[in-house]
Amino acid sequence: SVRYFPVYCKGLQLLKMIQNPPIKRVDVVIIGAGFAGLSAAKLLNEVGLDVVLIEARDRLGGRVHTLRDPVIGYTEVGGGYVGPTQRCMQRLAKEFGMEWKIVREVEKTVLSSKTGWQTFKGVPNIYDPIKILDLNNIFQMVEKMSEEIPVEAPWKAPHAEEWDSMTMKEFMDKHCWTEFAKEIFTVSTKGASCAELHEVSLLQFLAGIKSGGGLVRMGSVENGAQERKLIGGLSTLLERMAETLGDKVLLSRPVIRIEQTENIAMVYCENGEMYEGKHVISTIPQGLLNRVRFVPPLPPMKLQLIQRIPMGSVIKTMMFYETAFWRDMNLSGMAMSHDGPVQTTLPDDFAEEENNVPAILGIITANECRDMCDMSKEERKNAICKHYAKLFRCDKFLEPIYYVEKNWMEEEFSGGGYGNVMPPGVLSKYGKYLSEPIGKVYFAGEETATYHSGYMEGAVQSGERAAREILHALGRIPSDEIRQEEPYPGVIPEKPIESSGIERYLPSVGGLLKFLGFFGFIVAAMGIGIGVWKLNDACSK
């Protein structure tokens, strides 16, 4: 019938669109709406380039996620802390009218190890001089070794191949004498890498220390990387960044294919949409790049790289209580534990201030994390409560009123956290391919950052660096402007961290024993000499 002809035509048109969907053409296609992707898109948009930002998840943030809940207000189940030297994050918060809150560190911290239990403020109370020398030596060693690492090219360090042929466990076993030092070093290393010591290359660990501003800065609250949290939540900052881009931010669009020619790159999404750009920035974690088909294929060394860098293993947990009863015990809620599922805890003041629900944040990493994956959420909660009751020596920890967790290993588009884990032999041989552009495709993400790799700060730096690489390719800026030092934003005071002369020059246990052995030899030689002299003197008389 004639009256059905318009409907028939519209149906054909719709079928044609489904079979051949329209192509969105822009200057730059950016994949991933975490801090790296949003920072890149924001910079390019501000200089007048047409961009589109596509994200696989149904939310912004990547490995940053502010969980909003009517019971607890909000809490960070992903990245959460910022320190005084993380200038890009301070600049963004200032630009979007957000403020920071200092993490509470008033009461004492708990340290639980096989060799004992104690509470302390500042540094642990160690009365055994051998333990003091051993612990100080291992941390001073890695700090000093990390100073040799060039942050832009760790594989060019003078001892790169030597250090990249050794695991952290081999290094620790070689240089630690006491179980106490090994326990503290193990907890610190696992907490930073989310992996077992035998899985991590010494070179990657040292590069991370140099990138993060040193072990003390990375592990401290006051004047350290855990000093502050963002009031209102990090997702609020991400949302405000996204608002500047309007409808250029598109969620729920996993990328399945990237094709490029000499002049353009085509990005294909799972839903059938296609985006054409003169350039592409990928912020996909590089260990997950093998889920995307590249045409032409990625170069051999890039393919080899992405097969060798799994993500770390971490579950972030939040246990909420009716009151912060631990403060009545003069405890801050911070703890380090060698025995049990949770190695590190911190207090979460935000839930307490928002809805008067104080909480303990617990981080489960490496094998402890993997061992708990087969448990139900309720089983994990009960195991953690029992651990806290033992760790803090208080049964009130068995009575939480709410529990939240985030298992980053089950996140399809992350595969784990905090960042990737490089076994021996990877960084020295393949490291330079992490951020090297391939045709029209540029790479960003915290793992490609020079400073604060593994942090949100590194993600921002990497996104802006990739954006400036494109501006350079377009002839907009010279090459020496691609990597820029972030100026001090004047938000959080920066105080230097320096080791005292005593810390720097205390001997190792081995050095002390060698000295004592040499000293004993001298004393013995002197005694023999004096004895021989007296004997000769007596004989001559």
| Proportion of the chain above pLDDT 90, given as a percent | 79
More confident: 13 or 424? 424
Given pLDDT bands bounded at 50, 70 and 90, which one contains residue 490?
confident
Cβ burial of 505 (10 Å; 0-12, 13-18, 19+) is exposed
Is residue 8 domain-resident? no
Is 56 annotated for ligand binding?
A: yes
The pLDDT score that the predictor gives to residue 171 is 98
pLDDT of 236 higher than 70? yes
Of 379, 410, 441, the last residue of a domain is 410
Q: Which pLDDT score, from 0 to 100, does residue 447 have?
A: 97
Phi, psi (deg, nearest 5) at residue 256:
-115, -15
The token pair that represents 183 in the structure block: 């326990």
Q: Per DSSP, what are the bridge partners of residue 268?
A: 257, 274
Residue 22 has a pLDDT of 85
Residue that is written with structure tokens 């051999």 in the block: 300
Rounded to whole angstroms, how far apart are CA atoms 356 and 177? 46
Residue 86 has pLDDT above 70, yes or no: yes
DSSP 3-state assignment of 93? helix
12-16, 103-107, 331-335, 466-470: least confident range: 12-16
Specify if 276 maps to a domain: yes
Q: What is the largest CA-CA distance in the chain?
A: 143
**What's the CATH code of the domain at 433?**
3.50.50.60
pLDDT at 540: 53
CA-to-CA separations, 403 to 77, 193, 261, 457, in angstroms, rounded: 12, 25, 50, 29
Statement to judge: residues 528 and 441 lie in one domain: no
Q: Any binding-site annotation on 494? A: no
Instruction: Examine the domain organization and report whether 263 and 385 are in the same domain.
Output: no
Is residue 89, in this structure, part of any structural domain at all? no
The domain that holds 110 is classified in CATH as: 3.90.660.10
Q: Which is higher by pLDDT, 106 or 370? A: 370
282's tokens: 């990928």
**Average pLDDT across the chain, whole number:** 90
Q: Label the pairing between strands 265-269 and 331-337.
A: unpaired
Q: What is the number of domains present in the chain?
A: 3
SS3 197: helix
pLDDT at residue 114 tops 90:
no
Positive or negative, the Cα torsion across 88, 248, 75, 336?
negative
Per-residue pLDDT tens over the stretch 280-322: 999 999 999 999 999 999 999 999 999 999 999 999 999 999 9
What CA–CA distance (Å, rounded) separates 406 from 437?
33
| 320 lies in some domain | yes
Q: Which amino acid is at 411?
A: E
Q: How far apart are CA 163 and CA 216, in angstroms?
A: 21
What pLDDT is recorded for position 355?
78
The answer to whether residue 494 is domain-embedded is no
Quick one: residue 378, left, alpha or beta (phi over 0 = left, psi -120 to 50 = alpha)? alpha
String of DSSP letters for 276-338:
EEEEEEE-S-GGGGGGSEEESPPPHHHHHHHTS-PBP-EEEEEEE-SS-GGGGGTEEEEEEES
Domain span holding position 184: 106-220+311-410
Residue 536 has pLDDT above 60, yes or no: no
Q: Which of 199, 213, 211 minimizes the C-alpha distance to 365? A: 199
Together in a domain, 301 and 316: no
pLDDT(6) > 70: no
pLDDT tier at 269, thresholds 50, 70, 90: very high
Among candidate residues 410, 436, 468, the one where a domain is terminated:
410
Pick the range with the lowest mean pLDDT from 56-70, 134-148, 338-352. 338-352
Question: Is 190 within 8 Å of 205 (Cβ atoms)?
Answer: no
> Who's near 200: CB < 8 A, 6+ residues apart?
167, 168, 189, 193, 421, 422, 423
Q: For the ranges 187-191, 411-415, 451-455, 497-501, which has the lowest average pLDDT?
A: 497-501
Which pLDDT score, from 0 to 100, does residue 523 have? 41
Q: What is the pLDDT of residue 115?
A: 80
Q: Is 447 annotated as a binding residue?
A: yes
| Shared domain check, 438 and 401 | no
Q: Is residue 521 predicted with pLDDT exceeding 60?
A: no
Could you give the percent of the chain with pLDDT greater than 70? 88
pLDDT tens digits, one per residue of 173-228? 999 999 999 999 999 999 999 999 999 999 999 999 999 999 989 988 899 999 99
Average pLDDT of the segment spanning 50-54: 99
Same domain for 114 and 195, yes or no, is yes
368 annotated to bind ligand: no
Residue 338 forms part of a structural domain = yes
pLDDT band for position 510 (cuts 50, 70, 90): low
pLDDT at 528: 42
Do 371 and 270 fall into the same domain?
Answer: no
Query: Domain check: are 363 and 338 in the same one?
Result: yes
Read off the pLDDT band of 517 (50, 70, 90): very low
The pLDDT, as a whole number, for residue 507 is 59
| pLDDT (0 to 100) of residue 519 | 39
